[in-house]
Chains A and B, each alone.
Chain A
Amino acid sequence: MRAAADGSGAPQAVHVRGVSVAYGRVAALRGVSLEIQPGEMLALLGPSGCGKTTLLRTIAGFLPHTGDVDIGGTRATHVPSHRRNIGMVFQDYALFPHMTVAQNVAFGLRMRRVPRPEIGPRVQEAIALVGLRGVGERFPRQLSGGQQQRVALARALVIRPSVLLLDEPLSALDRKLREEMELELRLLQRRVGITTIFVTHDQEEALAISDRIAVMQAGEVLQVGTPEEIYDWPRHPFVSAFVGKANRLSGVVRGWSAETLDCELAGSLRVRVFSPQAVAAGTRVAFTVRPEKIAASTAAEALENRVDGTITNRIYLGVFTELRVRIPTGEELIVVCQNTERSTAGSRPGPGDHVVLSWSADACHLLEEPPTLAP
């Protein structure tokens, strides 16, 4: 009956080891391994159906699986959910509709048989922690979406859990409120110092608030790294395409010197690509360039790579302008330019105009998987 002892407050590590989950014959997770450091905020990022929620529910103990889940260095695989001392915020918040806000928040404490005189102050403390006050006697349906989200967070934090799990916690909020809550969530997590795993399909959200991101696809973790690593050094083609916009190019290696490959693209176009390791001449390689790392101008800039192109489309986005530029290989590159005073004051290149694209060799990153060769 008794739930796990009240949390000590010390952040715990979570270790997922070779976990597989199947729904009938469909594999939802295929041997996933992942280490989450104590006090870390880790995002599980991926498109819908990639298995990120399944992984979260496995850590919560809701799903039968093979492999192991360790929490705080001990094997939790056979510990039932109600004794794992986990706090969780659900996508629909899952507030108990027949209980007041205070009763909702007190639920975990009641289950842990915390003495009655202690419950009141701790509930108040948790409600204050998430920035709510004076709503304790209201029912969930009388609160706005943002307020309900805070109540769900308070209910999860009040038990001083070893781990906090968040299942797309912000997806039901409108954009402005979401950005506000992202920041608050991050500050709150730092202040409480709790190991947090959150599921999101929103790459901006993942980049903005996590210490590390695990990008998932088709039941597998493709790459784990800091937001900078994931964005700047995507090793997997899917990661480069899913996180941010990316231009993907491929060519044949003609030489390597000073950590730079000399690649020949279609149409005899030569591009220099950063690579710490040598790659044999004649190898076919794929690489990416982020749109904002390409400069578009009428005169060439002093960067290693210079390619002529023709603008096919121009989208004004306020802070940025996004251009589509056709280059001699026949491919279209996305180029994003910041709208500075200088760039908006002068003439703006539009569709049909000729531009010179330039970028440094460092802006190009090799992808691990070689592209499939045309027969």
Chain B
Amino acid sequence: MRRVGWLAWSLTALVAVGLTAPLLVVIAASFNPTNELLFPPRGLSLAWYANIFRRQAFLASFRFSAALALASTACSLVMGLLCAVVLVRHRFRGRQLLATALMSPLIVPQVVLGMSLLIFLSTIGLVSSVIGLALLHVMLTVPYTTRVLTAALTRFPESLEDAAVIHGAPRPLAFLLVTLPSIKPGVVAGAIFAFVTSFDNFTASQFLVWDRTTLPVEIYSYIRTENDPTVAAISALLVLGTVGIVVLVERWVGLETLTG
């Protein structure tokens, strides 16, 4: 037993190191003073961080990505909630088919998804990155919110909502006052999945950057021509931001609710 325990411990530690080491390498490289991505860094400089803020393209695409992620998260939460209510509370013919259809954006290759949307939008003459990307990102995130909220709603005892109704709340108000607060962890989890999925997306998004561009696409086009640590600096900031969000969520609802 002790030997197995020791083995399990070291394997776990190895996995943890394997998962975080690349991040640490990137963060370290972002401080390199010279014009190359080097590890270990040859000094300590914040020049590449300053470079991010000098380049308007990065800031603009960051703002756009953040706005896009927020909007598609909000949209996909509402839609996911509606889908979850239909899937959990109703029994009808074709229910399983509907559930599968709602998951389909996860199965279809993103290249196909991005390209078909490109062809479709060009055909109907809707050449706008704002509309195109919003549409795409809602499609990409709805499966996550639907899935997480379906699980949350399945665990939610419906008698709670009935209790609110019988004591005087119309059904929609009962949902708002009792059901929604009870499934809050699911809502938060769904929101985070959706936000990250949208903010990170590159593969499908690259087809729809006509007049506006997202941060991942901007980073990609930058590293095609430059090899300096600016991208490493951006990555470091993103890691910092993510850790910040995780800490906030932990404070607010507890991180275990994301996985449970």
- Hey, which bits of chain A sit against chain B, CB under 8 A? 1, 3-4, 60-62, 80-84, 86-88, 90-92, 94-98, 107-108, 111-112, 155-156, 159, 165
Query: Contact at A96–B167, with CB atoms within 8 Å?
Result: no
CB neighbours (8 Å) of B182 from chain A are 96-98
- On chain A, the residues within 8 Å of B181 by CB distance are 96, 98
Question: Does the CB pair A94–B170 fall under 8 Å?
Answer: no
In whole angstroms, what is the CA distance A297 to B73 when docked? 81
In the complex, A97 Cα to B166 Cα: how many Å? 17
Contact call A82/B166, Cβ cutoff below 8 A: yes
Distance A96 CA – B182 CA, assembled complex (angstroms): 8
Bound CA–CA A97/B178 (angstroms): 9
> In which size bucket is the chain B interface?
10 to 19
Given known contacts A81-B165, A97-B182, A98-B181, A1 and B160 CB-to-CB distance under 8 angstroms: no
Pick the contact of B159: A83, A91, A107, A111 (CB < 8 A). Answer: A91
Min Cβ gap B238→A in Å is: 34
Shortest C-beta distance, A14 to chain B (Å), equals 14
B interface residues with partner A (beta carbon < 8 Å): 157, 159-160, 162-171, 173-174, 178, 181-182, 184
B168 adjacent to A4 (CB under 8 Å): yes
Q: Which residues of B contact A159 (CB under 8 A)?
A: 167-168
Q: Measured between C-beta atoms, what is the minimum distance from B106 to chain A in Å? A: 32
Q: Is the CB of B159 within 8 A of A60?
A: no
Q: Which residues of A contact B160 (CB under 8 A)?
A: 94, 96-97
Measured in the bound complex, the distance between the Cα atoms of B174 and A220 in whole Å is 32
How distant is A124 from chain B, measured CB to nearest CB, in Å?
18
Complex Cα gap A108–B181 (Å) = 18
Q: Which of B157, B162, B167, B171 is within 8 Å of A107, CB to CB?
A: B167
Q: Tell whether A1 pairs with B170 under 8 Å between CB atoms, given A92-B157, A92-B159.
A: yes
Contacts of B165 in A (CB 8 A): 62, 81-82
Specify which chain B residues have a CB less than 8 angstroms from the CB of A108 in the assembled complex: 167-168
- What residues of B have a CB within 8 angstroms of the CB of A82 in the complex? 165-171, 174
Residues of B within 8 A of A95 (CB): 163
Report the 10 A-B pairs with minimum CB-CB distance, sorted nearest first: A111-B168, A3-B168, A108-B167, A94-B163, A94-B159, A90-B159, A98-B181, A88-B166, A94-B160, A81-B165
